[in-house]
């Protein structure tokens, strides 16, 4: 519908597209295993954060799995109907945001659909009957089957949705049990970039009731954080606003992980160095991709106390941003890390063109045998 | 506006009625076909009169008008979005009241409201509502295509049959043509024959020929009747297929319009909300990270100043958001196309809808 949106009509293309994602996400899982603990002042939860990323990656894989069933037979039925898969071919290489939102709507109506569709067993019998009697491909039945599998997959849950509400993990108490420390994590599928974004926040809570059990504050916190999870907003902006709106919550560390964009010679039309590298590598299907990711981190450097009345005061976090680093200032973060994973053949071309590597980019290579190595 | 759920119920029951009528119509066509097959072409009283067809058409028109109304109704639902956008720009009554005493406090209250604002729920509601309509339309489209296929295959068989009948008719006519000169020749010979015995023989021959001739003429009549019945049947069947095809095309236009609209709206509303939120917040947070608490007063003043500056910017953005949103021209073109198709088919409803809107605004 938009110039940069592409509709994948052919079932085989849809299948190849998602198969590619399944492989890439599996490689990313290997990257999280290979990654060291996250250093920094809040290092104690570093391992936990990386494990959480692996959880979100798994959910993302399931989501793409579900979508691949949803659209498996779509192109075979008719030119116009039913709706077909749209991907963002210019920027992200991922399915467009609306697909995920549509999935949320589908999810709300699982029961109705599953009740209406014949059971898998019935469908299988009908398919066999059709093949034997009519001697034509049973497209309609295959479509019904793909929809059945899709809704069953949705019913199982454990998916990456357009909006994954914040969850909270208690990390322990600090300063003589006066403050509770929590790790809050959530994920959204960003609508502007058509990419999955993970958010991790370590915060200290000085409220009377523990935040995780506070029926008054916790829903408000969830709502606030999700409503603010916009890729255009800098981490600093989100953290400052959150700190201001909830006086007894103190965000100490805030991370945003953007997974993507994905580039592929077959599916996407990006420009720039990587696109050229992929074109030059001219690899066979399955080896013609590159996926990058970005980790933004914002860490509090000190706390200032301001009195708000005769006996009350409010803590405000001041975040550590290096004013001499224009990139950090511009992004409103303490640290900005970028990663890239690509198959060996494309990596060789990349090294040939840029022998020193791309500055500030941690590269991972998938070998011929599927083993992931840090380059 | 009429309640969405009850409108849906009305549309659903109307569709059921339409499907019943369509099934009845196809049923008649099929039973006529069976009668023809049972070799009683004269008995196959094809009671598919134009009146019945008109009835089906009238009903499906009413039904589509209803659905078109429902789709226009979605426009009214989406008007709610622009209220939300306005709310993001303007201060609430309470905020203005607070602003009377403290401008900074009032700004910070508004900021807090903007930070927790989200239209995702509304977007999902929009998608699910248009989904409900699309489902109805698609099921109707399925039924129409189904019937079209059935009648089509029926017609195919009938067409072949008619060809055979016409072929036979031709053969009979050829035989009759062959007989004509023979009969004339015999008659001539009888007129010239003097011998009585020979004459009697020729007369018997002529009687036989005449009998054969009459039989052939009778057969010709039967075949002609059969061919005409089949022809009538095919004619009726064809106009039914045409009608089904036309109805299916209407469903496609409706579905297409709805899908394009919804896709476009989701992108537009989402982008607009997020731009509004971003414009409002970004500068503020940056300036005050390092100002610290000592200059709290200054910070609030700065916030208020930036607040009103961004407010101005947001107002401008609202006004020209369509070209601001880096919207590929293609979307608008596609929307224009589907709108145009929609308008062509539903001119009357659109007119009525607009009139209602203006009527309501005038009151």
Tell me the count of A-B CB pairs closer than 8 A: 115
- The answer to whether B21 touches B59, Cβ cutoff 8 Å, is yes
Residue A298: the pLDDT is 92
Chain A 268-307, residues with CB within 8 Å of chain B CB atoms:
304-306
Residues of B whose CB is below 8 A from A224: 115-116
Q: In the predicted model, what is the mean pLDDT of residues A184-206?
A: 93
Contact between A234 and B282 using a beta-carbon 8 Å cutoff = yes
Q: How far apart are CA A98 and CA A75, in angstroms?
A: 19
Q: How confident is the model at residue A38 (pLDDT cuts 50, 70, 90)?
A: low
Contact between A163 and B252 using a beta-carbon 8 Å cutoff = no
Check CB contact of A315 with chain B, cutoff 8 Å: no
Check CB contact of A230 with chain B, cutoff 8 Å: yes
- The answer to whether A5 touches A87, Cβ cutoff 8 Å, is yes
Q: How far apart are CA B67 and CA B77, in angstroms?
A: 15
Residue B358: the pLDDT is 47
Residue B360: the pLDDT is 46
Of A247, A245, A308, the residue nearest B113 (C-alpha): A245
Of B260, B275, B285, the CB nearest to A241: B285
* Token reading at A206: 């000085």
Mutant choice from B270, B281, B327, B336 vs A, greatest count of A C-beta within 10 A:
B281
Helix H or strand E encompassing A98: helix A97-108
Contact between B328 and A2 using a beta-carbon 8 Å cutoff = yes
Check CB contact of A81 with chain B, cutoff 8 Å: yes
In a domain, B169, yes or no: no
Least confident of B131-135, B190-194, B228-232, B278-282: B278-282
Mutant choice from B116, B153, B249, B265 vs A, greatest count of A C-beta within 10 A:
B116
Least confident of A2-16, B107-121, B175-189, B285-299: B285-299
Residue A187: the pLDDT is 95
Contact between B115 and A223 using a beta-carbon 8 Å cutoff = no
Non-local CB neighbours of B71 within 8 Å, separated by 6+ positions: B133, B254, B257, B258, B261, B342
Of B141, B274, B293, the CB nearest to A232: B274
Of B124, B256, B330, the CB nearest to A2: B330
Of B118, B285, B328, the CB nearest to A236: B285
Contact between A226 and B293 using a beta-carbon 8 Å cutoff = no
Of A102, A7, A152, A114, the residue nearest B131 (C-alpha): A102
- In tens, the pLDDT along A145-175 reads 999 999 999 999 899 999 999 999 998 888 6
Q: How far apart are CA B64 and CA B59, in angstroms?
A: 9
Tell me the Cα Rg of chain B: 38
Check CB contact of A241 with chain B, cutoff 8 Å: yes
In a domain, B31, yes or no: yes
Q: How far apart are CA A73 and CA A9, in angstroms?
A: 9
- Of residues A217 and B249, the one with the higher pLDDT is A217
Q: How far is B65 from chain A (nearest CA, A)?
A: 22
Residue A326: the pLDDT is 82
In a domain, B336, yes or no: yes
Q: What total of structural domains would you count in chain B?
A: 1
Check CB contact of A2 with chain B, cutoff 8 Å: yes
Q: How far is A356 from chain B (nearest CA, A)?
A: 35
Residue B111: the pLDDT is 81
Q: CA distances (Å), A119 to each of A123, A141, A144, in order?
A: 6, 11, 10
Q: In the predicted model, what is the mean pLDDT of residues A2-25?
A: 80
Residues of B whose CB is below 8 A from A109: 128
* Token reading at A119: 């059971």
Q: How confident is the model at residue A57 (pLDDT cuts 50, 70, 90)?
A: very high
The Cβ of residue A37 has, within 10 Å, a number of other Cβ atoms equal to 13
In a domain, A111, yes or no: yes
Check CB contact of A237 with chain B, cutoff 8 Å: yes
Check CB contact of A70 with chain B, cutoff 8 Å: no
Q: How far is B264 from chain A (nearest CA, A)?
A: 8
In a domain, A12, yes or no: yes
pLDDT at position B240 over 90: no
Residues of B whose CB is below 8 A from A324: none
Q: How far apart are CA B155 and CA B33, in angstroms?
A: 9
Q: How far is B111 from chain A (nearest CA, A)?
A: 8
Domain coverage including residue A54? 5-156
Instruction: Identify which of A188-202, A258-272, B344-358 has the greatest average pLDDT.
Output: A188-202
> Which is it for strands A289-307 and A313-319: parallel, antiparallel or unpaired?
antiparallel
Of A104, A242, A318, the CB nearest to B289: A318
In a domain, B138, yes or no: yes
Contact between B141 and A318 using a beta-carbon 8 Å cutoff = no
- In tens, the pLDDT along B54-92 reads 777 788 888 877 777 777 777 766 777 777 777 777 778
Q: How far is B24 from chain A (nearest CA, A)?
A: 25
- In tens, the pLDDT along A99-131 reads 898 898 889 889 988 998 899 999 999 999 999
In a domain, A42, yes or no: yes
Contact between B292 and A318 using a beta-carbon 8 Å cutoff = yes
- The answer to whether A66 touches A153, Cβ cutoff 8 Å, is yes
Of B3, B82, B36, B10, the residue nearest B233 (C-alpha): B36
Residues of A whose CB is below 8 A from B281: 233, 237, 241
Domain coverage including residue B153? 4-161+236-362
Contact between A2 and B292 using a beta-carbon 8 Å cutoff = no
Residue B325: the pLDDT is 42
Q: Find tokens 């009195």 and name the residue.
A: A307
Check CB contact of A320 with chain B, cutoff 8 Å: no
Non-local CB neighbours of B263 within 8 Å, separated by 6+ positions: A1, A98
In a domain, B212, yes or no: no
Average pLDDT of every residue of chain A: 86
3-class state of residue A301 by DSSP: strand
Q: What total of structural domains would you count in chain A?
A: 1
Check CB contact of A313 with chain B, cutoff 8 Å: no
Q: How far is A45 from chain B (nearest CA, A)?
A: 26
Residue A14: the pLDDT is 85
pLDDT at position B363 over 50: no
In a domain, A308, yes or no: no
Q: In the predicted model, what is the mean pLDDT of residues B132-138?
A: 84
In a domain, B134, yes or no: yes
Check CB contact of A225 with chain B, cutoff 8 Å: no
Residue A219: the pLDDT is 93
Of B165, B162, B141, B154, the residue nearest B238 (C-alpha): B154
In a domain, B213, yes or no: no
Of B128, B278, B284, the CB nearest to A232: B278
Instruction: Identify which of A111-115, B35-39, B274-278, B328-332 has the greatest average pLDDT.
Output: A111-115
Mutant choice from A141, A233, A242, A247 vs B, greatest count of B C-beta within 10 A:
A233
Check CB contact of A141 with chain B, cutoff 8 Å: no
In a domain, A16, yes or no: yes
Q: How far apart are CA A166 and CA A185, in angstroms?
A: 5
Q: In the predicted model, what is the mean pLDDT of residues A131-153?
A: 90
């Amino acid at each position: 519908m938009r110039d940069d949106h592409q509709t994948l009509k052919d079932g085989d293309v849809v299948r190849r597209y998602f198969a590619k994602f399944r492989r890439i996400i599996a490689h990313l899982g290997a990257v999280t295993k290979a990654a060291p603990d996250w250093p920094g002042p809040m290092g104690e939860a570093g391992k936990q954060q990386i494990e959480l990323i692996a959880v979100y990656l798994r959910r993302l894989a399931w989501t793409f799995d579900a979508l691949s069933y949803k659209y498996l037979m779509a192109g075979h039925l008719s030119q116009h109907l039913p709706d077909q898969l749209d991907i963002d071919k210019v920027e992200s290489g991922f399915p467009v945001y609306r697909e995920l939102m549509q999935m949320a709507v589908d999810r709300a109506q699982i029961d109705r659909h599953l009740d209406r569709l014949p059971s898998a067993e019935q469908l299988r019998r009908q398919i066999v009957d059709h093949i034997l009697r009519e001697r034509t491909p049973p497209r309609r039945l295959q479509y019904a089957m793909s929809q059945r599998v899709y809704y069953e997959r949705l019913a199982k849950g454990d998916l990456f949705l357009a909006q994954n509400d914040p969850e909270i993990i208690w990390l322990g108490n600090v300063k003589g049990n006066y403050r509770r420390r929590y790790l809050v994590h959530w994920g959204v599928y960003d609508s502007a970039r058509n990419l999955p974004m993970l958010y991790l926040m370590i915060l200290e809570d000085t409220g009377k009731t523990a935040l995780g059990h506070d029926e008054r504050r916790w829903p408000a916190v969830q709502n606030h954080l999700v409503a603010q999870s916009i890729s255009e907003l800098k981490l600093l902006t989100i953290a400052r606003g959150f700190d201001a709106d909830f006086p007894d919550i103190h965000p100490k560390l805030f991370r945003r992980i953007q997974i993507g964009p994905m580039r592929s010679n077959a599916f996407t039309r990006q420009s720039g160095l990587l696109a050229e590298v992929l074109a030059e590598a001219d690899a066979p299907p399955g080896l013609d991709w590159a996926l990058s990711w970005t980790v933004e981190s914002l860490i509090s450097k000190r706390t200032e106390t301001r009195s708000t009345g005769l006996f009350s005061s409010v803590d405000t976090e001041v975040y550590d941003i290096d004013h001499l680093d224009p990139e950090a200032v511009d992004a409103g973060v303490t640290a900005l890390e970028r990663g890239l994973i690509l198959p060996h053949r494309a990596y060789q071309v990349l090294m040939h063109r840029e022998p020193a590597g791309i500055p500030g980019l941690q590269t991972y290579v998938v070998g011929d045998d599927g083993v992931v190595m840090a380059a | 506006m009429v309640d969405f759920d009850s409108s849906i119920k009305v549309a659903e029951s109307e569709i059921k009625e339409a499907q019943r009528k369509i099934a009845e119509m196809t049923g008649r066509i099929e039973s006529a076909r069976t009668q023809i097959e049972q070799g009683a072409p004269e008995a196959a009283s094809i009671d598919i009169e134009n009146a019945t067809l008109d009835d089906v058409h009238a009903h499906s028109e009413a039904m589509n008008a209803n659905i078109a109304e429902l789709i226009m109704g979605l426009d009214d639902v989406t008007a709610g979005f622009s209220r939300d956008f306005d709310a993001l720009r303007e201060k609430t009554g309470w905020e203005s009241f607070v602003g009377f005493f403290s401008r900074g406090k009032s700004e910070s209250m508004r900021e807090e409201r903007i930070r927790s604002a989200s239209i995702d729920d509304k977007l999902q509601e929009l998608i699910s509502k248009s989904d409900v309509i699309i489902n109805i339309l698609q099921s109707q489209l399925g039924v129409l295509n189904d019937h079209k296929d059935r009648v089509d295959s029926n017609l195919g068989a009938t067409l072949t049959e008619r060809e055979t009948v016409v072929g036979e008719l031709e053969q009979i006519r050829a035989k009759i043509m062959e007989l004509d000169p023979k009969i004339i020749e015999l008659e001539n010979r009888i007129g010239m024959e003097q011998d009585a015995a020979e004459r009697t023989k020729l007369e018997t021959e002529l009687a036989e020929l005449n009998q054969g001739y009459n039989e052939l003429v009778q057969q010709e009549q039967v075949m002609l009747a059969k061919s005409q019945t089949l022809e009538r049947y095919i004619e009726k069947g064809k106009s039914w297929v045409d009608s089904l095809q036309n109805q299916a095309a209407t469903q496609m236009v409706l579905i297409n319009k709805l899908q394009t609209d919804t896709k476009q709206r989701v992108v537009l509303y989402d982008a607009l909300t997020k731009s509004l939120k971003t414009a409002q917040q970004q500068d503020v947070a940056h300036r005050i990270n390092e100002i610290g608490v000592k200059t709290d007063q200054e910070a609030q003043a700065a916030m208020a100043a930036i607040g009103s500056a961004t407010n101005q910017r947001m107002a401008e953005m609202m006004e020209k958001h369509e070209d601001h949103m880096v919207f590929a021209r293609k979307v608008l073109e596609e929307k224009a196309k589907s709108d145009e198709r929609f308008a062509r088919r539903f001119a009357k409803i659109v007119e009525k809808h607009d009139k209602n809107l203006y009527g309501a605004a005038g009151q």
